[in-house]
Amino acid sequence: MSFASLGLNPALVRAVRELGLATPTPIQTQAIPAALSGADVQGAAQTGSGKTLAFVLPLLQQDMNVRREWPRSPRGLVLVPTRELAIQVGEVLRDLARMLPDPPRVAVLFGGVSINPQMMGLRGGTEIVVATPGRLLDLVDHNALRLDAISTLVLDEADRLLDLGFADELNRVLALLPAKRQNLLFSATFPETVQALADALLREPTRIDIGASLAEDGGDDVHPDIVERAIALDAGRRTGVLRYLIKEGGWDRVLVFVATRYATELLAHKLGREGLHAAALHGELSQGTRAEVLTAFRDGRVQVLVVTDLAARGIDIARLPAVVNFDLPRSADDYTHRVGRTGRAGEPGTAVSFITAATESHFRLIEKRQGRRVPREQIPGYEQVETATPDQAAGGIKGHRMSKKDKLRAAAAAVDPQAKK
């Protein structure tokens, strides 16, 4: 199948070809025609599967079909949870748009930087906006743009945006949009609590689940190019095992996930003392620092990037050989997002999880939700000695969390009451 067969404008097909893309991915093959028809779409596919192009191309085609007005009013809105993802989506949009005969203006809006340049950039109007919710609302409050002409809303990394942590901001944005619009939701995962919100937002949607489709076709693994490893060890020996793996694997770059901002700084400092070029990336860094760190990592000047889950959303590193779960994620969905940072676009990758006696039962829960078992390994010289306490052996990571039923009630209550109208 080709991009031309999906119903795209010939100018867009040529633009895609100029980017070196010849064949659409499964999520693009299913989502693009549905979006072009005007239907709401819920698309689930693993990271690195081409979801960005699956909504960017319909947005650009819809813009081509609308007569230009002055002042330019945004008709397409892409909401993302992080600055890095906003920049990434904006780059894809602009790369394609500049090859079109009458390119739309694309505004990329995010916090952590001065609002004034973004306000100035909006003075001439814009057709497509890519934004984090908080900065978007700030600009609306400053009368820098209006959202009453939006015809298509895209939620990228929808599971994060529909999480209760974003509920207030998302509801405020929804209240500013026309009730009649197209909604496109894309993510690697749609947990139960998030699905309740998605159902309230969508109208007779086309639902696409590439992972489920692959499984139905007989595939045992939705990440065929990713080797998953689980290494049993004691908590205090994780840094030593990480150094060993980097040397053994010859990894020129590795993304290491930890649980907290403090842990990113501490581990990066420890690795730096051992002669590794390591850096920390977390949400409290300035936008300029985050951009510098990511550029250094992409260029190979930083070998080990230590990150939290929030900071890692939207990071797209070509040919990243490995990711390491130094601390396990809270959920199977976060595990999916982490693992998907490697093995992108058909490239091979390795995903390693460190399993201590205290976290073994939690990793078993992740395996159960993923529907696959990862054999345990031990590294010679770093064999696991510690054993789990009865409480640790009985369940996963403990914490004061709402029950599933309470989460569903809270999620449904957080939905914009106007979203269905």
Q: Lowest mean pLDDT: which of 84-93, 115-124, 203-212, 320-329?
A: 203-212
Task: Indicate whether 211 and 277 sit together in one domain.
Answer: no
Q: Are residues 198 and 236 in the same domain?
A: no
Cα first-last separation, the chain: 37
Q: Give yes or no for residue 214 having a pLDDT over 50.
A: no
* pLDDT for the residue 401: 45
Domain encompassing residue 332: 226-388
The predicted model gives 234-248 an average pLDDT of 96
CB 48 within 8 A of CB 26: no
127 and 250: one domain? no
Decide if 394 is inside a domain: no
Tell which of 189, 217, 245 closes a domain.
217
DSSP state of 256: E
Instruction: Indicate whether 403 belongs to any domain.
Output: no
- Alpha carbon of residue 97 to chain centroid: 23
- Mark whether 150 and 234 lie in a shared domain: no
Looking at the structure, do residues 204 and 235 belong to the same domain, yes or no? no
The rounded distance, in Å, linking the Cα atoms of 377 and 220 is 21
Strand partners, 186: 43, 156
User: 402 pLDDT band (50/70/90 cuts)?
Assistant: very low
Shared domain for 97 and 50, answered yes or no, is yes
Region of poorest pLDDT, from 194-203, 242-251, 373-382, 386-395? 386-395
Q: Are residues 187 and 267 in the same domain?
A: no
In a domain, 241, yes or no: yes
In this structure, are strands 278-281 and 304-307 parallel, antiparallel, or unpaired? Answer: parallel
In 203-277, which ranges are E strands?
206-209, 226-232, 254-257
User: Would 416 be classed as within a structural domain?
Assistant: no
Q: Is there a single domain that holds both residue 312 and residue 213?
A: no
Q: What pLDDT shows up at residue 414? A: 52
Domain presence at residue 402: no
Q: Does one domain contain both 144 and 95?
A: yes
Residue 361 placed within a domain: yes
Cis ω before 71 (30° cut-off from 0): yes
Q: What pLDDT was estimated at residue 75?
A: 94
190 with 247, same domain: the answer is no
- CATH number, domain containing residue 263: 3.40.50.300
Final residue before a domain boundary, out of 186, 217, 248: 217
Residue 240 and residue 211 share a domain: no
194, 217, 240: which is the final residue of a domain? 217
Count of structural domains within the chain = 2
| pLDDT category of residue 404 using cuts at 50, 70 and 90 | very low
Concatenated DSSP letters for 239-307? HHHHHHHHHHHT-S-EEEE-SSHHHHHHHHHHHHHTT--EEEE-TTS-HHHHHHHHHHHHHTS-SEEEE
Q: Is residue 419 part of a domain?
A: no
Which residues, 6 or more positions from 278, have their beta carbon under 8 angstroms from its beta carbon?
267, 268, 269, 271, 272, 302, 303, 304, 305, 306
The answer to whether residue 420 is domain-embedded is no
Q: Which of 94, 142, 104 is nearest to 125 (CA)?
A: 104
Q: What count of other Cβ atoms lies within 10 Å of the Cβ of residue 385?
A: 9
Give the integer Cα–Cα distance in Å for 172 and 151: 17
Q: Identify whether residues 334 and 202 lie together within a single domain.
A: no
